A and B are shown apart, each in its own frame.
Chain A
Amino acid sequence: MDSKRPLLLQSPRTTNDQEFPTIPVFPELPKSKSSSSNTVTFSGVEYGQQVDHKTSSNSSTSSSKSAMSIHSMSSSKRNNSLNHSGSKKPVTVRYGSKGGGDSDGLTMSQRELRDEDARLVYINDPEKTNESFEFFGNSIRTAKYSILTFIPRNLFEQFRRVAYVYFLIIAILNQLPQLAVFGRYVSILPLAFVLFVTGVKDAFEDWRRHNSDKVENNRLASVLINDGSFVEKKWKDIRVGEIVKIKTNETIPCDIVLLSTSDPTGVAYVQTINLDGESNLKTRYAKQETGSKVQPRYTGLIKCEKPNRNIYGFMANMEIDGKKLSLGSTNIVLRGCELKNTSWALGVAVYCGRDTKAMLNSSGAPTKRSRLETRMNYEIIMLSSFLVALCTITSVCAAVWLKRHKDELNLLPYYRKLDFSKPKVDDYKYYGWGLEIFFTFLMSVIVYQVMIPIALYISIELVRVGQAYFMIEDHRLYDEATDSKFQCRALNINEDLGQIKYVFSDKTGTLTENKMEFQCASIWGVDYSSTKANIDGEQGEYSVQVDGKVLKPKMKVKVNPELLKLARSAVENEEGKRIYDFFLALATCNTIVPLVVDTPDSDVKLLDYQGESPDEQALAYAAAAYGFMLIERTSGHIVIDIHGKRLKFNVLGLHEFDSDRKRMSVILGYPDSSVKLFVKGADTTMFNVIDKSYNMDLIKSTETHLHSYSSLGLRTLVIGMKELNTSEFEEWHAAYEAASTAVFGRAALLKKISNNVESNVCILGASAIEDKLQQGVPEAIESLRAAGIKVWVLTGDKQETAISIGFSSKLLTRNMTQVIINSNNRVSCRKNLKDALERSRKLMSTFGVGNNDGAVANQIALIIDGGSLVHILDSEHEEELFQLASLCSVVLCCRVAPLQKAGIVSLVKNRTSDMTLAIGDGANDVSMIQMADVGVGISGQEGRQAVMSSDFAMGQFRFLVPLLLIHGHWNYQRLGYMILYNFYRNAVLVLVLFWYVLYTAFTLTTAINEWSSTLYSIIYSALPTIIVGILDKDLGRSTLLKFPQLYSAGQRDEAYNKKLFLLTMADTLWQSMVIFWPPLFAYWKSTIDVASIGDLWTIATVILVNLHLAMDVVRWYWVTHAVIWGSIVATFISVMIIDAIPQLPGYWAFFHVSSSGLFWALLLGIVIAALLPRLVVKFIYEYYFPSDIQISREAEKIKQYQRVAENGQIEMLPISDQQQHR
């Protein structure tokens, strides 16, 4: 299904000489002891056929012959027949296709591993290894700072924010004596405060990292030392080149190349959950050559690539005993993985500490900028130009004033340009007209600096943290099945969730559960649908008795009784044979590893099929239910229990699934020495390799069945088989052998070979697997569409499957007009597109366009396939496709490649300003998730790559509804209001300062105490906006879910737009004037002093901005009360404290001025008069031009009253729960 899936395959290897006691998976089975196809095992003494293409034909033949006599029957027969078939060449069986195992295929494995790019590791010789190169030790350091480096580095980190640099520049300007508006220390205070708080936070986090590093570094591991024994060593002391022994359930301390394991075939099972989150076991292999070595005497050289981040790729050579072996990603086990089901493993450390792939991959979350923040920049620019304007006005006026008074300046009592105190009479602090203007300008920048609300950036970050906390803690976003909470990986785009217009969704694993269930089979042209006779009692439970113990598959599968009967019957007729082959193919043609799991009942054991593809698991379970139970798989053979008869098949070759071929195949050596190739794959590629001449009717009927399956929404696979005769086998075998041992270009060679052998296949049938829709998907899609969000589904599935899923998920409805574009060439594609565009335009015009609010009538659904997209994307037709798509209410893209998904997202993203969200679960969705404005990862069955690259991650598709409709809405409304409020809050203060400057001969005296203006945005008014930004809710959960249409407020930018900004600024202007002028008029010609009137202005401003906020708060929690009234009280206290310092000129001013009635009368008058227009406008808007939000809010309140009246108590969440669990 996806090409980036890590590989599980065994590396090419030769025989094994078992030095270690065999630990068979099933000790009960005598045969299973011979765990490799060409290993001879008898009565404790073991011989291996030393067969390699390098070894001489003679010796190997003899050894194989000698083996024959004592060999188990099946194996000897095969060897016999093969040898008999004319070949004197030694039989070497290799297993595994892309031996290099690197996921990047060709490019990686073909690349030369040049010496200068390589790292040389001498096995078991750390001294020599570390001699010429100083490799990193294994101690890790996730902590950023040490005690010494903390201050410089932390400061450097912090000053990477532009806002802080602005702070710093202002503070530095203020240090110049000519410009010192504020006291030196006062001006540094805000910056120091912010730096200090952030610094303490960073220090605390770093301290925790130090601690966890310490724990990690001091963990113990066994390391081989010179005398051949193992000693415990701390992780941090492990060096490259040392040999480490890991026992079961232990964590691997560094990246190691496996040398040998407790398993005689060199298999080790690892769990990589810490690395990529995938919980299934993966198999890793030790090379046979190293597995056979006596422990303490490992010597050899590994030449591997330089440390890199690719956790799915590894390229290296190993020279051991003069032989050169190639190593791939299946031979390396990475730090952080855990060893499972293997009692021990030995490995040589190749990457240590920070060179390990896990460490190299521990990068932070992706950074994106939110739409709101981008929009905000425009307003910031407006405010900046306003700031410049204010400064210009001030300096020009100052200049004019200076010019007009230039004759008087010398002796003007309040200016006194001349300084007589020195012997030579000179100008005092007068730098000439031009410079005075310039300095005035800079000074006014310092005074008006808060016009740019720097504190806003910090507040926004805090608010986002709070919002993220609530999203994470929301139990509606918690997924029971996977026990996963919501994850906020990107902290800075929370509010984007409230403005989404397009949702691009993957299908498999996103809309569906990705839990595959075998449903139907078409075998030899006959349809066996288990759905037909679907009685609960008939769940196939097949079990095997082994030594009195019952072994049964972990998952039950619904079976078709008819087919079950046929499958049980002996292989008598042609039909029975086909069924036999079909299920054998299902059981064998996969990469499933069966594991035995104990149950509480000691007599019953469960077989757990571990594999990466859920489809394969489903097929293997299905085969087991029909009596073809896969019991054991080693690198060389497969044991299958067929109706109680245990058969062992040699796996002669396996061609991995890849996304180009879209099929995989396995070559099996039967016990009776015949060799068969089983292929399974997608129908498109399978029909290309099918032997058409064979049976046209069969192919036709299979095709029909496939069509009907996929229109039911089932995932189909076609199964084929081919009997290989000796010459064919030989030919394949030779090529396979050569390819497998090739050091470079292995992947390409293997691909070529697999293409050669997978031809003229005889069709066996087809399987259909159901991928169930996730819970709540149809409802979720309905809600999203009602919210005005366009849902596009992009899937790799077939058109029919996609359409049927579309119907079952309520994406498509019967009365929609379907427009389908699928064509394979450019010309017809263009034509199709044009026609479709015309037709839909016509449709839309006949029925009216303004009808996109989820109304039922006449919607168009566009269905387009990947083949057509190839011709459309990145060509001049993109525009047409976009126009067509924007007419359609639903777009379904099927058979799209991962990159095309990103292409479609960018198609929309580049052409509209609408926000896009991409949601997916697999590696194939990564490009789309990264392309979209908001990327959501589903932590599902397919690993964690989607989650790793996403901004938000969650467990289920349906969580999208609460995420967008509730949290997105809230986040957006909160933040939008908060930004506007912060602009207002700072501008009011600046304007009050500015008005005063007009009465001070334009000399930037501030009546408002410098401490007060500094504390204004720290203590006086900071907290309320943050708390309101985190906690306030315009509407309750249930209302938002009940009326998804309310979401469109965000899409229409209702909470933050230019109109609102300008209105707010007009209000700001009025309020600042009301603050400033009444005291001015009232105290004109009076004895009022600067400090007293300044205190009045300070307090009036603070009360006003807090009341302004209070007026807009929707929900009053006790916290809200506390912070708003608390801020006002804090202001009074601060002002009192400041005025109680006798060293300041304004000493005792507040106490003096507040003892007069005029002060309080002015305060009351200012607050009321300033808020009056706002209240009037707000009321008129809310009452006579109510927005949807306003009406719903009223409805909520009325309903609450009613409910209180009825029940006597308030119930908080009735509707939401109903909606979700319906």
Chain B
Amino acid sequence: MATNSAGSNDPTVNRRQTKRPKYSKFTQQELPACKPILTPQAVISAFLIVTAIFIPIGVASLIASRDVVEIVDRYEAACVPSNWTDKIAYIQSGADKTCKRELHVEKRMKSPIYVYYQLDNFYQNHRRYVKSRNDEQLRDAGKGNSTSGCDPESNVDGVPIVPCGLIAWSMFNDTYSFSRNNNNVTVNKKGISWKSDRDHKFGSDVFPKNFQNGTIKGGASLNETIPLSQQEDLIVWMRTAALPTFRKLYGKIEVDLEKGDVINVVLQNNYNTYSFSGKKKLVLSTTSWLGGKNDFLGIAYLSVGGLSFFLAMAFAIVYFVKPRQLGDPSYLSWNRNAAGQ
């Protein structure tokens, strides 16, 4: 300190300048400010507003959820022929995996009807799994050799795999075909993935290479003549699910299904979930603005709305019974003490 001032005090700077701080509303901390306080009126009205918003939204989402028609068929156990006691052995064997299922439409389903497969107890969000991919390779044909992060599915005998990594390797490979009254119901498998993924994430000039050529086969194979950007099942699968129970879009049925219809499903039960006792389900569902069938949001909204209505009422009653004058100095602790003695 001493030196700095020693340096700066030239004889020329001898004129005395006052050091008085400049007055400004900012430096004196007197900027205009809004000072809201929690008055009972404000709080009660806030709760009423919350009620007014939440109850309708809750009702709307419950209705939306009820409107969704959903057919769920769990098939992984039923599709193992009864003569196979060891399910894992069956799924790994070369035996015929065809399996027939019947779905009953309980309620009219308007198209589009989404066909999902649902896996339970499958940790697509497992750390090892999530990381085992290489996004550059998927996007850029020139980076076919970059397989970093893809272990243990990065190459076979030193030749890189495209698409590499555990995620691609374990791609779901059950297939479904639907028929109603012996008429085929076509499943549209175009446009089931995100457009952004098709356009920018998976290259249109990147072709599968050396895929599923390893010692063990994890799931679906890919047609090596079709670029990745058109391999929509792969693209869907590569969007790793957030939660261990998840659905993935298989396709869309673009005809309405009437009440009482029986849908015959012929499926190839190829995917091995038996080794980790995971469930497989086939799901046909219509959709709403909320997505699929889920009552949770509606119930949650109704309870929050109800609770705030209750609180608003409770506060209103207490306020009318025992109001307190705001800013009354007689409530100040020292005034109360003085009054008490």
Question: Interface of A with B (CB < 8 Å)?
Answer: 140, 142, 212-213, 215-216, 249-251, 274-276, 335-336, 338, 358-359, 361-362, 405, 408, 411-416, 418-421, 425, 428-429, 469-470, 472-475, 478, 480, 483-485, 848, 850-851, 853-855, 948, 999-1001, 1003-1005, 1007, 1031, 1033, 1037, 1043, 1045, 1078, 1080-1090, 1092-1094, 1114-1119, 1142-1145, 1147-1148, 1151-1152, 1156-1158, 1161-1162, 1164-1165, 1168-1169, 1172, 1175-1176, 1178-1179, 1182-1184, 1186, 1188, 1191-1200, 1210, 1212-1213
A1094 to B118, CA, bound (A): 21
B292 within 8 A of A: yes
* Segment of B18-26, B102-110, B176-184 in the binding face: B18-26
Q: Which of B76-84, B132-140, B226-234, B257-265 binds A?
A: B132-140
Distance between A848 CB and nearest chain B CB, rounded to angstroms = 8
A-B contact count (CB 8 A): 329
- Given A1085-B247, A1117-B33, do A1179 and B315 touch, yes or no (CB 8 Å)? yes
Chain B residues, CB < 8 A from A1179: 38, 40, 43, 315
Pick from A470, A1090, A1161: contact of B301, CB below 8 A: A1161
Q: Are A1196 and B118 in contact (CB under 8 A)?
A: no
Distance, CA A297 to CA B11, complexed state (A) = 31
Smallest beta-carbon distance A429→chain B, Å: 7
Structural contact, B296 and A1087, CB atoms closer than 8 A:
no
Q: Say yes or no for B37: interface residue by CB 8 A criterion.
A: yes
Residue picked from A362, A415, A1086, most chain B C-beta under 10 Å: A1086
B249 near A1087 with CB under 8 A, answer yes
B28 touches A1082 (CB 8 A): no
**CB-CB under 8 A for A1087 and B35, given A249-B11, A361-B2:** no
Asked if B240 CB lies within 8 Å of chain A CBs, one says yes
Shortest CB-to-CB span from A186 to chain B, Å, is 14
In B41-87, the 8 Å CB interface with A consists of 43, 46, 50, 53-54, 57, 61
| Closest B residue by C-beta to A476 | B28
Contact of A1145 with B338 in the complex, beta carbons under 8 Å:
no
Cβ A1090 vs Cβ B307 within 8 A: no
- Let me know if B90 is at the binding interface, CB within 8 A: no
The answer to whether B130 and A1142 touch across the interface, beta carbons within 8 angstroms, is no
Q: With A336-B2, A483-B18, A485-B21 as given contacts, are A1195 and B329 in contact (CB-CB < 8 Å)?
A: yes
Point out the residue from B200, B215, B216, B241 that lies within 8 Å of A1087, measured CB to CB: B241
Check if B126 sits within 8 Å of A1191, measured CB to CB.
no
Q: Check if A421 sits within 8 Å of B153, measured CB to CB.
A: yes
Residues of chain A contacted by B130 (CB below 8 angstroms)? 1005, 1090, 1145
Contact A1090 B196, beta carbon cutoff 8 Å = no
Which 3 A-B pairs give the minimum distances between C-beta atoms? A336-B6, A1195-B327, A1194-B327
Given contacts A413-B219, A1005-B125, A1212-B30, contact A1086 B297 (CB under 8 A): no
A473 touches B275 (CB 8 A): no
Q: Which of A414, A851, A1119, A1196 contacts B126 (CB 8 A)?
A: A414
Given A251-B9, A428-B151, A1198-B326, decide whether A1183 and B331 contact each other with a Cβ distance below 8 A.
Answer: no
Cross-chain contact B6 with A275 (CB below 8 angstroms): yes
Q: How far apart are the CA atoms of A414 and B338 in the complex, in Å?
A: 72
Complex interface residues of chain B between 261 and 312 (CB less than 8 A to chain A): 272, 275-276, 289-292, 294, 296-297, 300-301, 304, 307-308, 311
Partner of B6, one of A358, A473, A1082: A358
- Please judge, given known A-B contacts A1087-B116, A1176-B311, whether A1197 and B125 are in contact too, CB under 8 Å: no
Q: Which residues of A contact B27 (CB under 8 A)?
A: 469-470, 473-475
**Quick one: which of B289, B329, B332 has the most chain A CB within 10 A?**
B332
Q: In the bound complex, do residue B4 and residue A142 qualify as a contact, i.e. CB atoms below 8 Å apart?
A: yes
A1157 to B124, CA, bound (A): 25
Compute how far the CA of A359 lies from the CA of B3 in the bound complex, rounded to whole angstroms. 6
For the complex, what is the distance from the CA of A1200 to the CA of B32, rounded to whole Å?
A: 12
Cβ of B341: which chain A residues have Cβ within 8 Å of it?
848, 851
Closest A residue by C-beta to B291: A1158
Residues of A within 8 A of B246 (CB): 1085-1088
Across the interface, do A415 and B324 meet the contact criterion of CB distance under 8 Å? no
Whether B28 pairs with A415 at a CB distance below 8 angstroms is no
Q: How far is the CA of A474 from the CA of B276 in the complex (A)?
A: 70
Q: What is the CB-to-nearest-CB distance from A1169 to chain B, in angstroms, rounded to a whole number? A: 5
CA–CA, A420 to B215, complex, Å?
Answer: 6
Contact status A1161-B61, CB under 8 Å: yes
**B-chain residues with CB within 8 Å of residue A1093 when the two chains form the complex:** 242-243
Q: Which of B30, B37, B135, B239 contacts A1194 (CB 8 A)?
A: B37
State which size class the interface on B falls in.
35 or more
Q: Which residues of B contact A1143 (CB under 8 A)?
A: 135-136, 139
B142 within 8 A of A: no
Partner of B242, one of A1031, A1090, A1176: A1090
CB of B333 within 8 A of chain A? yes
- Specify which of B3, B27, B244, B296 lies most central, judged by the most chain A CB atoms within 10 Å of its CB: B3
Partner of B135, one of A405, A421, A1144: A1144
Besides A478-B20, A1145-B130, 16 new A-B residue pairs in contact (Cβ under 8 A), listed by A number: A358-B2, A405-B276, A411-B216, A413-B218, A416-B169, A421-B152, A473-B21, A473-B22, A483-B20, A484-B19, A1001-B126, A1005-B126, A1043-B332, A1088-B246, A1156-B289, A1156-B290
CB distance from A992 to the nearest CB of B (A): 13
Contact in complex: B304, A1169 (CB < 8 Å): yes
The answer to whether A1193 and B37 touch (CB under 8 A), given A362-B3, A474-B27, is yes
B197 within 8 A of partner (CB): yes
22 A-B interface contacts by CB (under 8 A):
A142-B4, A338-B11, A469-B27, A475-B23, A1000-B126, A1005-B130, A1037-B29, A1082-B296, A1084-B294, A1086-B294, A1087-B116, A1089-B240, A1092-B242, A1117-B31, A1147-B201, A1157-B290, A1158-B289, A1165-B301, A1172-B307, A1186-B331, A1191-B332, A1198-B326
Q: Tell whether, in the assembled complex, residue A250 and residue B7 are in contact, meaning their CB atoms are under 8 Å apart.
A: no
- Collect the chain A residues with CB atoms within 8 Å of residue B225's CB: none
Give chain B residues whose Cβ lies under 8 Å from the Cβ of A275.
2, 6
Once the chains bind, are B324 and A1186 in contact (CB under 8 Å)?
A: yes
What's the least CB distance linking B313 to chain A, in Å?
13
Residue pair A475, B239 in contact (C-beta under 8 Å):
no
Of chain A, the residue at the smallest CB distance from B7 is A216
A1182 vs B341: C-alpha distance when bound (angstroms)? 25
How far is A1178 from B46 in the complex, measured between Cα atoms in Å? Answer: 14
B126 nearest in chain A by CB position: A414
Is B320's beta carbon under 8 Å from chain A?
Answer: no
Whether A414 lies near B170 (C-beta < 8 A) is: yes
Q: Determine the distance from Cα of A596 to Cα of B256 in the docked complex, in whole angstroms.
A: 112
* B248 in contact with A1087 (CB, 8 Å): yes
- Contact between B152 and A251, CB atoms less than 8 A apart: no
How distant is B56 from chain A, measured CB to nearest CB, in Å?
Answer: 12
Q: With A405-B276, A1082-B297, A1157-B290 in contact, is A1145–B332 under 8 Å at CB?
A: no
Partner of A475, one of B28, B290, B333: B28
- Given contacts A215-B7, A1045-B332, A1115-B33, A1147 and B197 within 8 Å (CB-CB): yes
Nearest CB in chain A: distance from B274 CB, A: 10
Q: Is B93 an interface residue (CB 8 A)?
A: no
Given contacts A475-B23, A1213-B30, contact A251 B6 (CB under 8 A): yes
- The answer to whether B156 touches A421 (Cβ under 8 A) is yes
Contact with A along B315-335 (1 / 0, CB 8 A): 100000000101111011110
| Alpha-carbon distance between A473 and B23 when the two chains are bound, in angstroms | 8
Question: Is the CB–CB distance between A274 and B9 below 8 Å?
Answer: yes
State in angstroms the CA–CA spacing of A1157 and B292 once bound together.
12
- Which of A405, A1003, A1144 is the most central at the interface, judged by chain B CB atoms within 10 Å of its CB? A1003
Q: How far is the CA of A1148 from the CA of B196 in the complex (A)?
A: 7
Contact across chains for B304 and A472 when beta carbons are under 8 A apart: no
Q: Is the pair A1161, B152 in contact by a Cβ cutoff of 8 Å?
A: no
- Residues of chain A within 8 A (CB-CB) of B327 are 1191-1199
Residues on A with C-beta less than 8 A from B135 are 1142-1145
Specify which chain A residues have a CB less than 8 angstroms from the CB of B129 in the assembled complex. 413-415
Q: Which residue of A lies closest to B14 (CB)?
A: A249
Task: Return A749 CB to nearest CB of chain B, in Å.
Answer: 34
